[in-house]
Structures are given as C-alpha cells and as structure tokens.
Structure 1
Amino acid sequence: MLEKTQLLKKRYGLVTDINITEDLELPSNLLIDVLRMINEALINVIRHADTDKAQVDVYIKKEKLIVKIINNGIPFPEKYQQRHDHYGLIGIRERAKAHGGDLKIWSTPEVGTIVLIEIPLGGKSNV
C-alpha cells in the first residue's frame, strides 16, 4: 500500500495519509481485493475530486474490516454513485460483496467524499 501511494504521489501529486492497524492480518485473497479497492478509490480521487490529498484508514470494528478513503475535494454527485457505467465503483462494490461486505459513499461540499467499505470477518478481529 505504501509503495502504491508513493507511486500515485510521484505520478499524480496525490499525497495520501495512511492509517492501518499495526497487527492487522488478512487472508491473501481478501488482502488483494482490499488493496485493489483502495487503489481504485484513490484513482477516483485523482480523476474527479480536484484535490491533492487523501486519507486511507483501515481498522477492525465490531468484527468488521473497515476501510475508509477520505478526500476534501469536489463532492461526488449522488446521481453517479449508482450508475452502471462507472466501472471503478462497480468493481469496488463487487469486490466488497464477494467478501460479504458493502460499499457506502457520502459526499458533501462541506466534507468532501468518504468511501466506506465494510467487510465482516466472521467473528475474528484478526484473520
């Protein structure tokens, strides 16, 4: 994740603050999908948010893996959040659902955009 965000900073100027629970361990298939979802969300920040800063938080809360990608850029219009021609969001949503999870998006001019991915961990706080 750190390597990817450094590459995005070098290539596009996106500075990403990353906060990941230190002892977090995930099965490899989930880890790969989480990294891909984060990457797609950050690419969306670069393409659409008109900001050079993002924040990624990854932690466990109530037996769920929580992944938050936050930016303070241009809000993401609600009418686009459910469209079927936005393949990045479709991919994020499908990857989350493949693990029994969900994708939620909040976006306002005051806050910016929060992409929230929640994935149940089957009763284990660290898999």
Structure 2
Amino acid sequence: MPHLDIDSSQSLPEPVVVWLDPSRPEFGTTIISTVPDGLAALNRHGIDDARHGPHAQLWQDAAVALSSAKLEPSPCNLRLAFDTMLRLVKRVAPVPTRIRVLSAPRGLRERVQGLLAPSSLGFAAQRPEGASRAD
C-alpha cells in the first residue's frame, strides 16, 4: 500500500468548499484544504473558466497567492492563499452557506487533528514493563 505523506505545513487556515461541477450542483462539493488542492482546483470545478473571463484578475491573484504559499508556507502566505481562493470561489461558483457548513463545519480540522494526535492514539512514549528509568 503506498504511503501518502500530507505536508500539514501547506494546510490552509480553513477549508474552502467548492462545487465539483457548478453547473451540476447535484454532483456535490469538494473541500480544498491544502495549497496543492488549491492549485489543482484552479484548473477544475468551474474555477478554470474564470481564467479568461471577467474574473481573470481574481483567478490570477489566487494563482499567485497559492504559488507563494507553496514556495514559502508561512502563516501570512497561507492566510493570503486562503483569502484569495475563497474570494474567487465566492465570485465564480458560490456554495450556499448551509451547504458549506454541512461540508466543512468550523472546527472540524482541529477535532480530527486532535483525534489523530499521537497521544490520543495511545502512542505516547510508554516504557516497556520492567524497564527502569536512567537518571
């Protein structure tokens, strides 16, 4: 089984929810939670149509911000990438708040990360029985 290594340093501050196909909402939504997800989404989900349309500047701003965040994933760059991507999605293919909240409730990432933390999985440093602590 291949090992998937997800670089959490490229996680956006919050997920951006987009339609899989804005012209067919019944197909549902997808969540953009990382910089690579955002860069890939620029070429799908109806967002790609904005590249040459009236929202070309928003598309370009998102592309630049996401590329900057990929090269240097600082909190400031990640926030800017999130803000520009969200602005583009809201303009090009807005997802109603009710559906967005169902798809990506606030605080979900923190809850999942808390559940997956090594200490909650029982991987905390445990000394084998009979082992003594060297002082």
More helix by share: 2
Rg comparison, structure with higher value: 2
Hey, which of these two has a bigger chunk of strand by percent? 1
Q: Is TM (by shorter chain) over 0.5?
A: no
TM-score by length of 1: 0.28
Q: TM-score, normalised by structure 2?
A: 0.27
